[in-house]
Amino acid sequence: MPLLEVRDLHVEFHTRDGVAKAVNGVSYSVDAGETLAVLGESGSGKSVTAQAIMGILDIPPGKITGGEILFQGRDLLKLKEDERRKVRGAEMAMIFQDALSSLNPVLSVGDQLGEMFVVHRGMSKKDAKAKAVELMDRVRIPAAKERVGQYPHQFSGGMRQRIMIAMAMALEPALIIADEPTTALDVTVQAQVMDLLAELQQEFHMGLILITHDLGVVADVADKIAVMYAGRIVEHAPVHDIYKAPAHPYTRGLLDSIPRLDQKGEELYAIKGLPPNLMAIPPGCAFNPRCPRAQDICRTDEPPLFRVTEDGARRSACHFWRETLRDA
């Protein structure tokens, strides 16, 4: 049994302008100690899927219209809010993109870290503060003891993200969801923060869902990759297979748009066109208006997630996955 298994998840947003179908049948799973990277352009439903797993969707306007989220065998969507709350933070935790805005500006970092122990473990404030210092040490924030009473704005961007990581790690959850944890950081500290996250994940044998739109970050850390487009998974594969040979034209496009050292000076490739309007997703394959390979069938028949390998570890939602793979 995987640690987390999302099955056929559907999420809609009901807004004044209409219904945005943000997640349309996403399935993925993560084992303990495993890292799943979720890739895709912005707006493809990566964060919404994560929010549905954490139970922090904005409802309304959001609405889960179908699917299951099995965590350690329990369907989280069937839990009462109070039981769900006890899972959040304690058994699964989330790291957000922008640590500055994601931390409370008027509470000290020690308070915000310690709060985890006060609320979930019933610790006294004093013990919780000691725990906070311990956590800050663990994520290698220098002079933790002196800085525990400081406020988020007094830390650098990299240090703030370490505090977010510490907060997520606080109760040693089984699963961590990191939603673009390094996107808001300086390039120089991105690698350090990523390394720290990977290291802690190994140490505690946690499942990690790493959301990013940066394929470059993924190669060293992830075990498998799910590529999302318009609220669906279009390709799913072990990490090395995808880099060697993508089985979906969209993945191909993403790979080609990574800047490479040997390409200096040349213009960077970009997938032409824009992601679809989620209130009017094109019929057939959602990618067809932008796909260099599109045929008539792509405009009428929605491709299922075909098995590329026998065991189903590798899948592609493309009518022409064979050709795509062959030409790679």
Partner 1 sequence: MGRYVIRRLIQMAPVFIGSTFLIFMMVFALGDPVAALFGDKAPDPATAARIREELYLDQPLWKQYLHYMGQIFQGDFGTAFNGQPVTELMAAAYPVTLRLTMVAIFIELVVGITLGVLSGLKRGHFIDSSVLVLTLVVISIPTFVSGYVLQYLFGVKWDVIRPTVSVDAPLNELILPGIVLALVSLAYVTRLTRTSIAENVRADYLRTAVAKGLPRRRIITRHLLRNSLIPVVTFIGTDIGSLMGGAIVTETIFNIHGVGYQIYQGILRNNAPTVVGFVTILVIVFLIANLLVDLLYAVLDPRIRYA
Ligand X SMILES: Nc1ncnc2c1ncn2[C@@H]1O[C@H](COP(=O)(O)OP(=O)(O)O)[C@@H](O)[C@H]1O
Chain residues that interact with Mg ion, rule: CB under 5 A: 47
Report how far residue 72's alpha carbon sits from residue 70's, in angstroms, rounded to the nearest whole number.
6
- Which of 259, 178, 180, 249 minimizes the C-alpha distance to 213? 180
Nearer residue to ligand X within complex by CB, 97 or 108: 97
Does residue 271 belong to the site contacting ligand SF4 (CB under 6 A)? no
Select the residue interacting with ligand SF4 from 249, 251, 254, 308 (CB under 6 A). Answer: 249
Strand partners, 63: 12
Task: Tell me which residues in 31-60 interact with ligand X (CB under 6 A).
Answer: 40, 42-48, 58
Stretch that binds partner 1, among 108-116, 127-135, 297-305, 306-314 (CB under 8 A): 108-116
Half-sphere exposure of 277 (CA within 13 A, CB side): 5
Torsion of CA 284, 287, 289, 292, to 10 degrees: -120
Does residue 94 belong to the site contacting partner 1 (CB under 8 A)? yes
Residue 47's binding partner out of partner 1, Mg ion, ligand SF4, none, with CB under 5 to 8 Å set by partner kind: Mg ion
Select the residue interacting with ligand X from 8, 56, 61, 121 (CB under 6 A). Answer: 61
Stretch that binds ligand X, among 14-22, 105-113, 122-130, 146-154 (CB under 6 A): 14-22
Nearer residue to ligand X within complex by CB, 61 or 304: 61
Q: How many CB atoms lie within 10 A of CB 162?
A: 24
Helix residue spans in the chain (DSSP H): 46-54, 81-87, 99-102, 109-121, 125-138, 144-147, 157-169, 187-204, 215-221, 239-244, 249-256, 296-300, 321-327
Report how far residue 275's alpha carbon sits from residue 137's, in angstroms, rounded to the nearest whole number.
42
Q: Which residue has the tokens 């032409």?
A: 272
Residue 298's binding partner out of partner 1, ligand X, Mg ion, none, with CB under 5 to 8 Å set by partner kind: none
Contacts with partner 1, residue ranges (CB under 8 A): 54, 56, 85-90, 93-94, 96, 98, 101-108, 115-116, 119-120, 150-151, 153-154, 167
